């Protein structure tokens, strides 16, 4: 039981302590680093304590605990079960030349998903030219008509029941709405993201619902306008998930992403099906709002810095409007070594959150500082935090990390670590990388920068034939060791994400590809991409950027 608790703690809080050799890790500046992940993807739910907040002694909490924090009108003795999945969703969809090829895949996937009743409320607003098109629902959800909101300088103030489909009772009407979307005239957009979000702000605020935005050609928003929108959304604990089609850079979104913990994903021409499936996954993605982390500790320590998507609101406190799976706070603690000789080091991370049922909880993540084992993946994450927030030079971080002693780790890990350390210079240069690392946990970041692969088949024969001969290589390798364009490979990108990279002469059926991926990971999500089409797939493009960058930098003297 003790081992299980230690493993569970490791999922919630990974550490990278400075040991007795400061020259190895100068980027830590004699600090201790903690990566705090309140809701890790493999264990985000906890059973709440049988005592609510007024009746619990924080200093005596020794294990992971959720504590109910009753509001003024709630009974502290009636402790609810926390609920992480929302039930109201809004999609804002740009209709343009850049998104038109995505729409058929999107509609087909959503028709299939909503072929049965779902206990949610959902609506889709369309951006066409300089106006918004939306469904005006009537007769208690039994009919609707298309309506236009022509001026985004005004507030979108319709009643929610006039816009959201109840997918238990109005699903058939929603499917008819999807049919109308298929025939909407393609028009070049003449409005900006900031004007749309300002227009929609009161409508979204009242429900705090999950909001997704598919965009490509919208006019670039002025920085000051996006800053104002970001402040509005931050103060109201709201976020937006952005799904960008094409390689158009959306740097103006950076302020909102960092402050409001919004996600940003890019998709190329071969990723339309992936985008549609990612949107459907968002219906199931856990989400909490009004989030705040406080750091409690003995007087032998003080907080040096706290980083992540959100805002530091006090010396020991950090606010994030929204938290979802794997979102991570990066905490640097300054220890008083003389006091620690007499006082055991204790630290608690307390994360307040409001769940989908609008119940407030405190999640306590205590950490035992007596075991100071260095966690290499956390050291990568610590260096990235310094690069992003303290202008630490990537080449200096690479040099420090290359001098770590990893002799106790296996060869594949050491090769992956080498690839990651040589990729740090990409973080500030490309949104494809930056948007992922800003709020993720150390393990996901490590996987993201060090994808691995299996050789499945060779040029001139199908992978199915190779499989029949029993010749599939079982050895995982880092992608820098692959011969893309000649052989067929299965790439494991990061959690549950796979790509089969085929060639003109080496192929595999989709059914066999899916089977292979799911044998490795039952939750595996698969894409199939021809080597020649890598520019149309953001995940594969990222892999090739990593390879090119590694090959050009490996001879650099650090």
What is the SS3 assignment for 347-363? EEEEEEEECCCCCEEEE
Q: Cα–Cα distances in Å, from 532 out to 6, 179, 521?
A: 46, 34, 27
Q: Are 389 and 379 within 8 A, CB to CB?
A: no
Q: What is the pLDDT of residues 242-256, one digit of tens each?
A: 999 986 667 889 899
Provide the pLDDT for residue 319: 97
**Phi, psi at residue 54, to the nearest 5°?**
-65, -20
Is residue 408 scored above 90 in pLDDT? no
Structure tokens at 378: 């956390």
What is the average pLDDT score of the chain? 87
Helix 171-182 and helix 103-113, axial crossing angle in degrees, nearest 10 = 170
Q: What is the mean pLDDT of residues 260-287?
A: 90
d(CA 14, CA 331): 11
pLDDT digits (tens, 9 = 90+) for 473-530: 578 999 999 999 888 999 999 888 999 999 888 778 888 888 888 888 888 888 889 9
- Phi, psi values for residue 388, rounded to 5°: -75, -40
What lies within 8 Å, CB to CB, of 288 at 6+ separation is 39, 84, 322, 323, 324, 353, 354, 355, 356
Task: Please answer whether residues 372 and 381 qualify as being in contact, where contact means their C-beta atoms are separated by less than 8 angstroms.
Answer: no
For the cut 60, the answer to whether the pLDDT of residue 470 exceeds it is no
Task: List the beta strands (DSSP E) in 238-328.
Answer: 241-245, 264-267, 287-297, 301-307, 311-314, 317-324
Which is higher by pLDDT, 309 or 249?
309
Beta-bridge mates of residue 131: 128
- Predicted confidence at residue 486, as pLDDT, reads 87
Query: Could you tell me how far CA 525 lies from the centroid of its own chain?
Result: 15
Report the percentage of the chain scoring pLDDT > 70: 91
- Provide mean pLDDT across the span 29-55: 87
Q: Is the pTM of the predicted complex or chain greater than 0.85?
A: yes
Residues composing the chain? 558
**Residue 332 binned pLDDT confidence (cut-offs 50, 70, 90):** very high
Q: Report residue 122 as tokens.
A: 């959902």
Domains of the chain (ranges; CATH) run 3-78+288-368 (2.60.40.1670), 88-284 (3.40.50.410), 376-449 (no CATH), 452-459+471-548 (no CATH)
pLDDT of residue 523: 85
Contact 284, 356 (CB under 8 A): no
What is the distance between the alpha carbons of residues 464 and 288, in angstroms, rounded to a whole number? 44
């Amino acid at each position: 039981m003790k081992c299980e608790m230690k493993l569970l703690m490791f999922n919630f809080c990974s550490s990278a302590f400075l040991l007795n050799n400061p020259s190895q890790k100068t980027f830590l500046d004699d600090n201790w680093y903690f990566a705090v992940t309140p809701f890790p993807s493999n264990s985000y739910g906890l059973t709440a304590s049988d005592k609510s907040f007024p009746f619990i002694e924080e200093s005596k909490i020794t294990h992971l605990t959720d504590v109910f924090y009753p509001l003024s009108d709630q009974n502290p003795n009636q402790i609810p079960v926390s609920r992480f999945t929302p039930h109201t969703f809004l999609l804002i969809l740009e209709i343009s030349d850049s998104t038109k090829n995505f729409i058929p895949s999107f509609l087909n996937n959503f028709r299939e998903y909503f072929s049965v009743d779902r206990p949610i409320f959902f609506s889709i607003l369309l951006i066409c030219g300089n106006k918004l098109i939306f469904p005006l629902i009537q007769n208690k959800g039994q009919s609707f008509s298309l309506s236009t909101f022509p001026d985004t300088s005004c507030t979108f103030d319709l009643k929610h029941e006039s816009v959201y489909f109840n997918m238990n009772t109005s699903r058939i009407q929603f499917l008819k709405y999807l049919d109308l979307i298929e025939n909407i005239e393609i028009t070049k957009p003449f409005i900006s993201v900031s004007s749309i979000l300002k227009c929609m702000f009161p409508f979204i605020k009242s429900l705090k619902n999950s909001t997704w935005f598919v965009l490509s050609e919208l006019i670039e928003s002025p920085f000051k306008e996006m800053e104002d929108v970001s402040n509005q959304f931050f103060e109201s604990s709201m976020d937006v998930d952005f799904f960008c089609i094409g390689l158009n850079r959306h740097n103006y979104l950076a302020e909102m992403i960092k402050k409001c913990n919004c996600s940003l994903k890019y998709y190329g021409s071969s990723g339309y099906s992936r985008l549609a499936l990612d949107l459907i996954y968002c219906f199931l993605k856990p989400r909490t709002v009004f989030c705040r982390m406080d750091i409690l500790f003995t007087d032998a320590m003080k907080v040096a810095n706290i980083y992540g998507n959100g805002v530091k609101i006090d010396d020991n406190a950090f606010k994030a409007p929204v938290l979802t799976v794997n979102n991570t706070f990066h905490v640097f603690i300054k220890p008083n070594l003389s006091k620690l000789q007499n006082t055991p080091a204790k630290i608690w991370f307390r994360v307040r959150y409001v769940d989908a049922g609008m119940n407030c909880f405190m999640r306590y993540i205590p950490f035992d500082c007596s075991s100071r084992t260095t966690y290499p993946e956390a050291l990568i994450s610590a260096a990235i935090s310094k690069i992003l927030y303290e202008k630490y030079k990537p080449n200096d971080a690479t040099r420090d990390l290359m001098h770590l002693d990893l002799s106790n780790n296996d060869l594949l890990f050491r090769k992956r670590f080498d690839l990651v350390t040589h990729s740090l210079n990409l973080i500030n240069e490309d949104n494809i990388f930056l948007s992922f690392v800003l709020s993720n946990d150390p393990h996901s970041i490590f996987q993201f920068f060090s994808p691995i692969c299996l050789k499945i088949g060779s040029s001139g024969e199908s992978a199915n034939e190779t499989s029949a001969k029993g010749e599939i290589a079982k050895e995982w390798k880092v992608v820098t060791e692959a011969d893309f364009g000649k052989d067929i490979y299965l790439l494991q990108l990061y959690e549950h994400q796979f790509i089969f990279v085929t060639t003109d002469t080496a192929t595999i059926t989709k059914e066999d590809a899916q089977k292979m991926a799911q044998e490795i990971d039952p939750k595996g999500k698969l894409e199939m991409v021809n080597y020649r089409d890598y520019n149309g797939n953001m995940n594969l493009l990222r892999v090739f950027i990593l390879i090119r960058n590694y090959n050009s930098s490996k001879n650099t003297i650090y």
